Amino acid sequence: RKPIIEKALHGILLYDGYSVEDIYIRHDCDVVIDVNGCAKVFVTVYDRANVKVRQGGMGRVYVYKNDDSCIVETEGSVTMRERKSGA
C-alpha cells in the first residue's frame, strides 16, 4: 500500500535506516517529511498541499510537483521535478 495524505491533514513523516517509500500528498495538507540514514523516498504533490522536505545523511528524496498551487520547501539534497498540466 502507498500512503496517500489528503484532505486537510497535518503531520510529520520520518524515514531513516533503509526505508523506501512512495508517498502521495494532496488537498490542503501541511506535511513535514524528514529523510535520513540510507532511506529513499519518492513524494508526489498535488492540489494545494504545503510540504517541507528535509534530507540528511545519505538519504535520497525525489519530489514530483504536479500543480502550481503546491508549496514545496526543501532542505538538503532533494531532487525536484515539476510537471505542468497537460504534459
Question: Of 59, 57, 53, 56, whose CA–CA distance to 80 is shortest?
Answer: 53
User: Alpha-carbon Rg of the chain, whole angstroms?
Assistant: 12
Report how far Cα 49 is from the mean position of its chain's Cα atoms. 10
With a cut of 70, say whether residue 87 has pLDDT above it.
no
* The predicted structure's pLDDT at residue 67: 86
pLDDT tens across 2-44, in order? 777 788 889 999 999 999 999 999 999 999 999 999 999 999 9
Which residue do the cell numbers 501541511 mark? 30
Predicted local confidence at residue 85, as pLDDT: 61
Q: What pLDDT sits at residue 1?
A: 64
> Rounded to an integer, what distance in angstroms lies between the CA atom of residue 27 and that of residue 70?
9
pTM more than 0.75: yes
Q: pLDDT tens across 29-83, in order?
A: 999 999 999 999 999 999 999 999 999 999 999 999 998 899 999 999 999 999 8
Give the pLDDT confidence score for residue 80 in this predicted structure: 96
